Structure 1
Amino acid sequence: MRETADTRHDKADGPSPRGRPPGATRKGLETRVRIIKGAREALEEGGMEALTTRRIAASAGVKLATLHYYFDSKESLLLAVLEDLIDDMDNAYRQDVSLPKAPEDRVEALIRTSWRYIQRTRNKQIAQTELTLYALRTKGSEWLAARQYNAYIDFYGHLVFEDDSDEELRQIGRAVGRQMLIGIDGIILQSYALQDLSASNEDIEALIIAMRGYLRRLMGERAKTR
């Protein structure tokens, strides 16, 4: 493989053991972050059509050879973008609200926090939808859509309970997270298409009522079996 400026920097940072992955050094990690940021910007500003290697490399300030060194396929880069989007969502949620202890109240707080985040990240939401559609339409990339949705379900599910170390509670959290995601996805598309904030706010209130009731039912069924 031809040596690039970034790989030379990686070597300068210290010895690289055999098999060490690209981006394992400080300089390498910084370069990897720039590439992911460049891909996110391209995706959010222009959709999948804009997600070309040349545009990403230009946005990241790296050469094409460097881009290919760090990410050997479009799917591997999209997976890194997906993980970055979820990290961004996680940080935003945690800064936005301190979740209550009661599970039903936590579900309500999560939905309200999600809705506030959605309203201020329109391009990001559309980019995530386009990422799903790309994965479903591209033969051999279907796994990326499954990874994407499992990550979202895990994200919501893990936050339903203050402590989800109990396997049964973890499964209940995932079930609630899955239903929350169904509702939130629908509200996102409808709100952007109809541009009716009042109706979307009503839909969020309806989703909260439904999710509180669903969680209450699941917890009641759990209590009966104990």
Structure 2
Amino acid sequence: MAASDRRAELLEAAIRVMARDGVAKATTRAIVSEAGMTLGAFHYCFASRAQMLELVTETLTERYVAEVRGLFAPHKDIRDSVLDSLHAFWKGFEANPGEHQMSYELTQYALRTPGLENVAKRQYEIFLAAFASLLELAAENAGIRWTQPVPVLARYVQSLIDGLNMTWLVDRNSEHSKAVLEMLADHLLQHARPAAG
């Protein structure tokens, strides 16, 4: 098996173990056992557990972003564009709650572990860049401009989504969560103006 394929299999095994058992229990032994490989294979593919955790974070974050981008359909109506992207994200979130819970757990673990701070930083850099690009694309297609800086709006969306996700993981109230997404779209529209001709 090629090293790249072996690494990909170990990353997927790590994601399964963390989603099922939690980040703390995702030891190298547990991961190689899940993948049906040896410890030697792990050390051949990764310089350290820290590197593996960083790659798991990047893999998951980019997967979520790709799902949203893949389902995003820009419209002339800015509200439809924003809601499409929010609903696409939410659909993926509800389909894989264990992965998302593990993603939050991994963020906290990285922030508390010396040397892993960049794992959490990179995770949110990817999310913020994705929301910013979707806001820009939606504005361009709808012929509007945002009255607040796009990075600020992207951070606002990310912050609200984080809180909404955590609340849903606790109470599983999809009806209220989707209503919040509608409110978020409406609030964003308060910062949209026709683009200058």
Which TM bucket (shorter chain)? Answer: 0.7 to 0.9
Which residue of the partner structure matches residue 16 of structure 1? none
Provide TM-score, normalisation by structure 1: 0.74
Provide TM-score, normalisation by structure 2: 0.84
Q: Which structure 2 residues correspond to residues 124-163 of structure 1 after superposition, within 5 A?
A: 124-162=99-137
The one-character-per-residue Cα deviations of 1:55-88 (angstroms, maximum 9, x if unpaired) are: 1111222210120121122221111112211232
Q: CA deviation at 1:174?
A: 3.0
Residue range with higher mean Cα deviation, 54-63 or 196-205: 196-205
Q: CA deviation at 1:53?
A: 0.3
Taking a change above 3 Å as real, the CA distance of residues 85 and 160 of structure 1, as seen in their structure-2 partners, is same
* 1:103–1:161 Cα contact (<8 Å) kept: no
Taking a change above 3 Å as real, the CA distance of residues 34 and 65 of structure 1, as seen in their structure-2 partners, is same
Name the aligned partner's letter for residue 155 of structure 1: A
Q: CA deviation at 1:105?
A: 3.8
Secondary structure of the corresponding residue to residue 105 of structure 2? helix
Which residue of the partner structure matches residue 13 of structure 1? none
Which residue of the partner structure matches residue 92 of structure 1? 67
Q: Which structure 2 residues correspond to residues 68-217 of structure 1 after superposition, within 5 A?
A: 68-100=43-75, 103-162=78-137, 172-214=149-191, 216=192
CA–CA distance in 2 between the matches of 1:89 and 1:142?
21
Taking a change above 3 Å as real, the CA distance of residues 101 and 138 of structure 1, as seen in their structure-2 partners, is farther
Q: CA deviation at 1:198?
A: 2.3
Q: CA deviation at 1:104?
A: 4.9
Q: CA deviation at 1:51?
A: 0.9
Identify unmatched segments of 5+ residues in structure 2.
140-144
Name the aligned partner's letter for residue 30 of structure 2: R
Q: CA deviation at 1:103?
A: 5.0
Taking a change above 3 Å as real, the CA distance of residues 197 and 163 of structure 1, as seen in their structure-2 partners, is closer
Taking a change above 3 Å as real, the CA distance of residues 182 and 163 of structure 1, as seen in their structure-2 partners, is closer
Secondary structure of the corresponding residue to residue 62 of structure 1? coil
* 1:103–1:160 Cα contact (<8 Å) kept: no
Taking a change above 3 Å as real, the CA distance of residues 101 and 50 of structure 1, as seen in their structure-2 partners, is farther
Poorly superposed stretches of 4+, deviation over 4 Å: 101-104
The one-character-per-residue Cα deviations of 1:96-141 (angstroms, maximum 9, x if unpaired) are: 3423255554322211211111111110110110011101111222
Match of 2:38 among 53, 57, 63: 63
Over the matched positions of the two proteins, sequence identity in percent amounts to 25
Residue range with higher mean Cα deviation, 38-47 or 105-114: 105-114
Which residue of the partner structure matches residue 25 of structure 2? 50
* 1:40–1:81 Cα contact (<8 Å) kept: yes
Residue range with higher mean Cα deviation, 198-207 or 43-52: 198-207
